[in-house]
Amino acid sequence: MIRRCAFGALVLVCLWLTLAAFTGPVRAQSSSPSPATGPSASGQVTGALSAGSTLTVSVDASIPRGWEALHLIEASILSGGQELERLRFDIEDNKLTVGDQDIVVGTGAVAAGRYLHVSGTDVVVTTGGANLSFEVDAKVVRVIPDDARFALGVVDDFGESDEVTRGLAEPPSGGLTWETVIALIAAALFIGGFIGNLFASRLRPPVRPSIYDTVQRRLQEERAAGTSGS
């Protein structure tokens, strides 16, 4: 009976963990409304704002006519109503501009602005169908203000554009990943088995002495009584 109760409790724990994985906080990925035929942009910036750290700028752009119709990818750092730094990627020329310096993506050339330092080898561009993804790891050479926002945009060959503004993305928190769920279920199974075995051992009836042990003990008692009587 106790084993059944322990198993039932374990099943309830597993069900709760699984439901929590699906009903936990969802990190939404919002983007501005996309024009019917024009480009659309989304993305994020991760990392830290302190000097010596790395900022990873990611911009995802798409256009129904195919990614070849895209012209520029832009990412700007904004603070106090001013633009502190701008990265501009010319898709046709495969050229990245940081501040007033240009480098060819994929080469070892380096461009440095007021706040960011970028190498051409730290840029990754992926294309396919209507989509283009741009990602760059930029070294922070000057402290970026804490209130900084990042404008991520795209411009097509006809000058149409789309832009989103993001804050620095925080590390993922809240919700449960499948790895966490599996680890918790394994821990629940171990604890449930341990508790079940503990209760079972406590309720296990005491071992009865065998007939042989009883006869042997009586013979020893009789011998002891005979020896003392003589």
Q: Which sequence spans correspond to the domains of the chain? A: 40-166
Angle of helix 2-23 relative to helix 178-203, nearest 10 degrees? 170
Span 83-138, pLDDT tens digits = 999 999 999 999 999 989 999 999 999 999 999 999 999 999 999 999 999 999 99
pTM: 0.60
Q: What is the pLDDT of residue 25?
A: 44
Span 58-86, pLDDT tens digits = 999 999 999 999 999 999 999 999 999 99
Task: Please compute, for residue 2, the number of CA atoms within 13 A of its CA located in the half-sphere on the CB side.
Answer: 13
Which token pair is 209?
A: 């002495």
CATH match for 40-166 among 1.20.272, 2.30.30, 2.60.40, 2.40.70? 2.60.40
Span 190-227, pLDDT tens digits = 666 666 666 556 666 665 666 767 777 777 777 777 66
Q: How far is CA 47 from CA 19, 41, 80, 134, 215, in A?
A: 31, 20, 21, 16, 81
Mean pLDDT, the chain, integer: 80
pLDDT at residue 30 tops 50: no
